[in-house]
Amino acid sequence: MTKLKSPFTAKMVEAVQATDKRQEIPDPGLRGFYLIVQPLPGGAKSWAVRYRGKPKYTVGSVAAWKLADARKEAGRIMRAYDEGGDPRAEKKEANSDDNLTENVLDEFLKRHVKAKNKDRTAYDVENTINREIRPKWKGKMITAIRRRDVVNLLDDMVDRGVPTMAVRTYALLKKFFNWCVERGILEVSPMGGLKPPATVEARDRVLSDNELRWAWLAADQIGWPFGPLFKMLAVTAQRKEEVAGASRSEFDLRAKEPVWVIPPARAKNGREHRVPVTPLAISLIESLPVISESSFLFTTNGETTVGGFSKAKERLDATMLKIARSEARERGDDPDEVKIAPWVLHDFRRTAASGMAAQGVQPHVIEAVLNHKSGTIKGVAAVYNRYDYDQEKKGALLRWERHIKKIIAAEPDSNVISFGKFTLRETGE
């Protein structure tokens, strides 16, 4: 057995070489704490505890556990033995399927998120978990999630250009890990002392007319399912989750006044929202394929709504830039000089609101179109004003539709607009 005179250091641990024999090297700085080095050809290194005649307890690999963290864990194990506990049995329980991160997330959703929040909030949290957290940590034990794992997850989101979502995910993870501590699933949260990954400023990005036209043409090129979905975001001014999760049963396109009714469970503010459906929106909806007789408008398997917005948005951005540079080249300008400032899908909604305002739509009507809970009408008036503004919303969306059609017209002032496999002629209010 190799013996050292001074406590372990990270540099020393890294320098230890594997041989043809298994090595157990005790740490002079903490009696009972060992570095285990497996024989060649593998040569794997791990941490272990041998304490007062108890069976060897393996803490974990050197790759997964930093020296300082492994020392702390060894001390915890020794204290548990002193108090009459059985760390090996506890570890076996901790490594059961119940403690797989995806199963703990399911329990968190069931017992905390859905039990203590409105349906819409629970829906948003579950979407974030399924999109951002579960795929990254599936198959990992909750006890194996380290601060570095959290940092990597959040940094990846910031690098993808979604800092706001990264901050929201940070807040969600704080709640999740605190819940795990409260339930005794974890002793300590890996979020302790971790700061938000970004500073979120109020957004005011609005797409220019050219950018909106490039986005529309790019949506044509990327095709199903995200191309039509992006167009629906632009035309209806509704939220991404509300459009992406829409089902055919929510639409009455044959009514005298075609309408899309977003149920309270899917509306962000928990209130039913009636969205007048304009001719352009009807054309888009009727062009969508029906997948496996599913009621979802946007699905590729017939069972769930579409996912993968980040990659689809990257494709949209790349195609928009390609179109913009092609137009610059045709004008005789330098295509390399063309840049498109970063933007997010929610900016479609802000662009529509700004566009309706520019068309003379009153602020309270725009608020009604957007289904904002608080807006121009406040206080006692807000309590007693239950008028839905259906006709006003229809007029606002028709004005916005005419503006979109003018922007994306194949030729200036044309009243025939190409939508891939069909055309739409100008219609009045």
pLDDT in tens, 161-188: 788 889 999 999 999 999 999 999 998 9
Distance CA 390, CA 395 (A): 9
Distance CA 67, CA 217 (A): 55
pLDDT recorded at residue 96: 65
Query: What radius of gyration do the chain's Cα atoms show?
Result: 29
User: Widest CA span of the chain, in angstroms?
Assistant: 89
Query: Which of the two residues, 380 and 60, has the higher pLDDT score?
Result: 60
CATH topology match: 98-182 vs 209-425: no
Tell me the CATH number of domain 98-182, given options 1.10.3210, 1.10.287, 1.10.3470, 1.10.150. 1.10.150
The model's confidence at residue 373, banded by pLDDT at 50, 70 and 90, is low
* HEC assignment per residue over 6-66: CCCCHHHHHHCCCCCCCEEEECCCCCCEEEEECCCCCCCEEEEECCCCCCCEEEEECCCCC
Hey, where are the domains in the chain? 10-94, 98-182, 209-425
pLDDT recorded at residue 92: 67
151 pLDDT above the threshold of 90: yes
Distance CA 197, CA 153 (A): 10
Residue type, 107: E
What mean pLDDT, rounded, does the chain reach? 88
Average pLDDT over residues 52-66: 91
Look up the CATH superfamily of 209-425.
Answer: Intergrase catalytic core (1.10.443.10)
pLDDT digits 0-9 by tens, 71-107: 999 999 999 999 988 888 777 666 667 889 999 999 9
The model's confidence at residue 423, banded by pLDDT at 50, 70 and 90, is very low
| The two three-digit tokens of residue 400, written as one number | 């916005």
Percent of the chain past pLDDT 70, that is, above it, reads 89
pLDDT recorded at residue 71: 95
The model's confidence at residue 426, banded by pLDDT at 50, 70 and 90, is very low
Distance CA 47, CA 246 (A): 52
Q: Which residues pair with 425 in a beta bridge?
A: 416
Look up the CATH superfamily of 10-94.
Answer: Integrase, DNA-binding domain (3.30.160.390)
Q: Which region among 293-307, 348-362, 407-421 has the lowest average model confidence (pLDDT)?
A: 407-421
